[in-house]
Amino acid sequence: MIGLVELLIMLAVMAFCAYQRMAMKKAMVINGAALAVLLVFVDNSWGFFLSLLVYAVVALFYLLPDLRIDWISRKLYRFMQQVLPPMNETEKTALEAGDVWWEGELFRGKPDWRTLLEYKKPTLTEEEQSFVDNETEELCGMLDDWEVVHKRKDLPPEVWDFIKEKGFLGMIIPKEYGGKGFSALAHSTVVTKLATRCPSAAVTVMVPNSLGPGELLLHYGTQEQKDHYLPRLAAGKEIPCFALTSPVAGSDAGAIPDKGIVCKGEFNGEETLGIRVTWNKRYITLAPVATIVGLAFKLYDPEGLLGNEDKEDYGITCALIPSDHPGVEIGRRHLPMNQAFMNGTTHGKDVFIPMSMLIGGKDYAGQGWRMLMESLAAGRSISLPAMGTAVAQLSYRMTGAYALVREQFKLPIGRFEGVEEAMAQIAGLTYRTEASRVMTAGAVDMGVKPSVVSAIAKYHMTEMGREIMNHAMDVHAGRAIIMGERNYLANGYMNQPIGITVEGANILTRNLMIFGQGAIRCHPYVLREMLAAQLDDEEEGVKRFDSLLFRHIGYGVSNFFRTLGLGLTAAKIADKPVAGETGKYYQQLTRMSSVLALTSDVAMGTLGGDLKRKERLSARLADVLSHLYLCSTVLKYYEDQDRPLSDLPYVKWNMEYGLYKLQEAFYDFYDNFPNKVVGKALRLIAFPYGKSYSKPSDRLERELVKPMMKDCDLRDRITQFAYVGKTEDDVTGRVELAFKKVLAADEVRYKLRKAMKAKELDKNLTNMERIEQAIEKGIINEEEKQLLTDAETARLDVIQVDDYAHEQISGVISD
């Protein structure tokens, strides 16, 4: 018995050290001290001697690195070399581009929440706020999405002029070049607001400010290129596009067949060193109106004209070519989901361009993939997350209003539980999109190039946009299906798959990028171990590998004990960085983070390079990392808003929703793990009492929906960037004004309902007839009648849909 007690004591000491992630030296001292205490004060049993033996073996390997290398590290090193798939240049560049940020903490199993809470609250400057409130508001007011999409298939000329004159195309260009010099948050906010009014206008504005010539020139352009192009781009004198995608290379963009051969040719009447380029690109946004074409192609120098005779294949290279340069062909337009933003093709055959047209000049020959990956990390954090947020905020505001105004079975449809369920998803996810938008753009403003976080934001915020839109469509039913001037949802619904597809199609983003790259980038040791295994000098490689391997083992042991301890105590032992109702969520997320760290290590250790091909497993761990990130954005957002009491149901819903999704992703992962024993063992360690989290309750969801149908501060705050028209004949203005009128008449409507119940009013009348009867019977006065009539008139107007003459509909809609 005493032996077991001694063994358990030593196990507890070891678990404590591992839980705290103590340095090896400190842990050895503490365990040694515990053994000494047992030796002096307790009967020394088999438990003591077994512990001593384990301690001695660990100490031996710790103190004698040569022994460790010969017995373990060298063998594992050679094994790694055999099983690891060789990393190609494209993968290596993608892995090296961008930074690991907060997601690294979440991945490593012991997030320091104080770091998160201490990140500066992202805010707009006075100038940026004014641009959102004035220029952007004015631009929204000029836009009629129906006219843009269904009649013109273009923005009206006055809108193009306004966009150029007011600097919308130069938001990211610094002031010294005549741009706005706006933060990522400001850029994202402008796109969000515009997209709530007209997605085509938002895309038009977003592309020059995102991944494209502007961004590439800023970071890699020569001074001459910057001085020439940036002021012209900022003033809208140049319209840029960026052409990477070709018919044969979409997701696999590294495989573009477009070629440039270094040669001498004539430019401006002189013999010049340059490149003969051939390309065929499609899907290129703004190409049909572009004055400069950013072009990605593969560069070859067979004659060594760049000065290195041994190097022929330089790899992907980016150039900036005026669209009127001889040989450049801007092709015909595509029609992406019927949207009106410009999108089309560009071609060129043996077009000679001088070296000065390479972005960054000759020095950046072959650096294109790295340049694109680095720019993508920033751009993907901004544009598409903003589009997802726009869908969310507009859907929240309009669905809440419509659900109050639209009545069926003599009740506003928002009062039915089934509708409430759909509305609750809109409400909770809208809060989540804004929290994620702000934190992710904030990271870019902190100078981070968040490549994994940007993939999470891109994937989840476009998917949330899609989910929210589907619910909004369901609640509106026929009112959202019938297209026309009155419909404020259908075009957004059509636009939704574009965000899903561009900047890394979503299936690939979830299955390959988030965890596939995230695991290697965020893991404290794996990438360095892989690089060590690829070294040509075996001795150096083994030495580096050995030091990493033993720290990696310590990390794994720590994750094991942390996961077990947090699971057995339901995370009660975890740190709470804040007091109050949200403290417990930090504890649960710490627990899930620890499960992720352990599970990732076991998955990588047992599946090795196969994990890359097991995309569905990788995608589930991607979901885990994503939900950890999304939950943490909500907690941070709540703190940054100074913890408004009214937000609490939204925060709770998001935590319960996120934890439930985390748990389901883990269960699916364990259930589908190829080695059933390992899968079951992991599940037992991670969830020792079975499933721990359930979905948000119906009661909580009811709390979320209430403010959607009230004219309250929370509704205004949650939808602060949704542009709503100001007049009764505006597509969204009419719904907003009707909503307010219905609310203003609420008390009088209640009087009518009471009178109906008391059989003082006839049930089988229309609402208008009932108002007349009520005034005749003296139940309401003239003032009340006016309120009711105004509300009913507005309500009847809101529920109308458009109709057209057959001749108008056949072909393009005409006046």
Q: What positions carry a catalytic annotation?
A: 503
Among residues 420 and 503, whose Cβ is nearest to ligand FAD? Answer: 503
Cα separation, 191 vs 384, whole angstroms: 9
Among 507, 557, 604, 756, binds ligand FAD (CB under 6 A): 507
The torsion region of residue 32 among left (phi > 0), alpha (psi -120 to 50) and beta comes to alpha
- 505, 568, 712, 768: which one binds ligand FAD (CB under 6 A): 505
- Among residues 20, 501, 641, 773, the one that binds ligand FAD under rule CB under 6 A: 501
Q: Which stretch binds ligand FAD (CB under 6 A): 111-119, 242-250, 633-641, 775-783?
A: 242-250
In terms of Cβ atoms closer than 10 Å to its own Cβ (0-12, 13-18, 19+), residue 583 is middle
Q: Which is nearer to ligand FAD, 357 or 631 (CB)?
A: 357
* Rounded Cα distance, 591 and 621, in Å: 15
Least Å distance, CB 245 to ligand FAD, is 3
The one segment of 16-24, 166-174, 256-264, 277-285 that binds ligand FAD by CB under 6 A: 277-285
CB 117 within 8 A of CB 643: no
Q: Which of 251, 534, 641, 767 binds ligand FAD (CB under 6 A)?
A: 251
Q: Which of 162, 182, 220, 283 binds ligand FAD (CB under 6 A)?
A: 283
Which residues ranging from 146 to 205 are in contact with ligand FAD (CB under 6 A)?
Answer: none
What number of other Cβ atoms are within 10 A of residue 592's Cβ? 28
Cα distance between residue 792 and residue 785, in whole Å: 10
Q: Residue 132 or 328: which CB sits closer to ligand FAD?
A: 328
Residue 338 within binding range of ligand FAD, rule CB under 6 A: no
Q: Which is nearer to ligand FAD, 140 or 243 (CB)?
A: 243
* Residues in 598-627 that interact with ligand FAD by CB under 6 A: 615
Binding mask of the shown chain, residues 539 to 568, with x at each position contacting ligand FAD by CB under 6 A: ------------------------------
The token pair that represents 223 in the structure block: 């001074």
- Residue 207 — φ and ψ, nearest 5°? -65, -50
The nearest distance, CB 138 to ligand FAD, in angstroms, is 27
By CB under 6 A, tell whether 91 contacts ligand FAD. Answer: no
Q: Report helix, strand or coil for 446.
A: coil
Q: How far apart are the first and last CA of the chain?
A: 92
Answer for which of 244, 316, 358, 398 binds ligand FAD (CB under 6 A) is 244
Q: Which window, 92-100, 138-146, 159-167, 501-509, contacts ligand FAD (CB under 6 A)?
A: 501-509
Using the 8-state DSSP alphabet, how is residue 246 labeled?
A: B
| Min dist. Cβ of residue 86 to ligand FAD (A) | 17
- Binding part of the chain for ligand FAD, among 163-171, 241-249, 485-493, 795-803 by CB under 6 A, reads 241-249
Quick one: which of 305, 508, 553, 573 contacts ligand FAD (CB under 6 A)?
A: 508
Compute CA 359 distance to the chain's CA centroid, rounded to the nearest angstrom. Answer: 28
Number of H helices, E strands in the chain: 38, 9
- For residues 548 and 623, what is the distance between their CA atoms, to the nearest angstrom? 28
Residue 605 corresponds to which tokens in the numbers above?
A: 């250790």
Distance in Å, CB of 628 to ligand FAD, minimum: 22
Our finding on whether 511 is near ligand FAD (CB under 6 A) is yes
Task: State the minimum distance, in angstroms, from the CB of residue 359 to ligand FAD.
Answer: 15
Supply the DSSP string of 592-622, one letter for each residue: HHHHHHHHHHHHHHHHTTHHHH-HHHHHHHH
Q: How far is the CB of 382 from ligand FAD (least distance, A)?
A: 15
H or E stretch at 263: strand 259-267
Q: Which stretch binds ligand FAD (CB under 6 A): 185-193, 240-248, 680-688, 727-735?
A: 240-248
Please say which residue, 343 or 491, places its beta carbon nearer to ligand FAD.
343
The Cα 434–Cα 718 span in angstroms is 8
Asked if residue 502 binds ligand FAD (CB under 6 A), the reply is yes
Pick out residues in 723-782 that bind ligand FAD (CB under 6 A).
none
Tell how far CA 451 is from the center of its chain. 11
What type of residue is 120? K
**Binding span for ligand FAD by CB under 6 A among 236-244, 378-386, 552-560, 703-711:** 236-244
Distance CA 525, CA 547 (A): 10
Regarding 498 and contact with ligand FAD (CB under 6 A), the answer is yes
Kind plus residue range of the DSSP H or E element containing 411: strand 411-412
Query: Does residue 56 bind ligand FAD (CB under 6 A)?
Result: no
Give the 3-state DSSP-derived string for 512-553, with helices as H, strands as E and coil as C.
HHHHHHHHHHHCCCHHHHHHHHCCCCHHHHHHHHHHHHHHHH
**SS3 for 7?**
helix
Secondary structure element (H or E) that encloses residue 321, with its range? strand 313-322
Regarding beta strands 329-333 and 240-243, do their DSSP bridges make them parallel or antiparallel, or are they unpaired? unpaired
* Nearest distance in Å: CB 383, ligand FAD: 11
Contact 633, 672 (CB under 8 A): no
Residue 446 Cα to chain centre, angstroms:
17
Residue 90 beta carbon to ligand FAD: minimum distance, rounded to whole angstroms:
12
Residue 718 touching ligand FAD (CB under 6 A): no
- CB of 2 or CB of 505, closer to ligand FAD: 505
Interface residue with ligand FAD, options 512, 532, 659, 705 (CB under 6 A): 512
Report d(CA 208, CA 216) in Å as an integer. 11
- Cα 195 from Cα 189, distance rounded (Å): 10
**From candidates 13, 106, 243, 709, binder to ligand FAD by CB under 6 A:** 243
- Rounded to a whole number of angstroms, the minimum distance from the CB of residue 281 to ligand FAD is 7
Among 31, 73, 343, 587, which residue sits at the site for ligand FAD (rule: CB under 6 A)?
Answer: 343
**Cα 812 from chain centre:** 36
Q: What is the largest CA-CA distance in the chain?
A: 102
Q: Rounded to an integer, what distance in angstroms lies between the CA atom of residue 778 and that of residue 762?
A: 14
The least CB distance from residue 612 to ligand FAD, in Å, is 10
Query: Whose CB is nearest to ligand FAD?
Result: 250
The reply on whether position 250 binds ligand FAD by CB under 6 A is yes
Residue closer to ligand FAD by CB (options 189, 285) is 285
Q: What is the DSSP letter of 324?
A: T
User: Shortest gap between Cβ of 289 and ligand FAD (angstroms)?
Assistant: 12
* DSSP state, residue 697: P
Q: Is residue 245 a contact residue for ligand FAD (CB under 6 A)? A: yes
Tokens of 477: 């039913």
Binding segment for ligand FAD (CB under 6 A), chosen from 216-224, 281-289, 354-362, 766-774, is 281-289
Stretch that binds ligand FAD, among 8-16, 121-129, 495-503, 796-804 (CB under 6 A): 495-503
Handedness of CA 410, 414, 415, 416 (dihedral sign): positive
Range in contact with ligand FAD (rule: CB under 6 A) among 254-262, 267-275, 499-507, 659-667: 499-507
Pick from 190, 284, 532, 603 the residue near ligand FAD by CB under 6 A. 284
**Cβ closest to ligand FAD, residue 242 vs residue 560:** 242
Q: Taking the complex as a whole, how short is the minimal distance between the CB of residue 683 and ligand FAD, in angstroms?
A: 26
User: At CB < 8 A and 24+ separation, what contacts does 133-138 make?
Assistant: 135/166, 135/168, 136/190, 136/193, 136/194, 137/193, 137/723, 138/162
Q: How far is the CB of 498 from ligand FAD (least distance, A)?
A: 5
For 259, list phi and psi in degrees, rounded to 5: -125, 145
Number of residues engaging ligand FAD in binding (CB under 6 A): 21
Return the number of the residue (558 or 618) whose C-beta is nearest ligand FAD: 618
Binding site for ligand FAD (CB under 6 A): 242-245, 250-251, 283-285, 336, 343, 498, 501-503, 505, 507-508, 511-512, 615
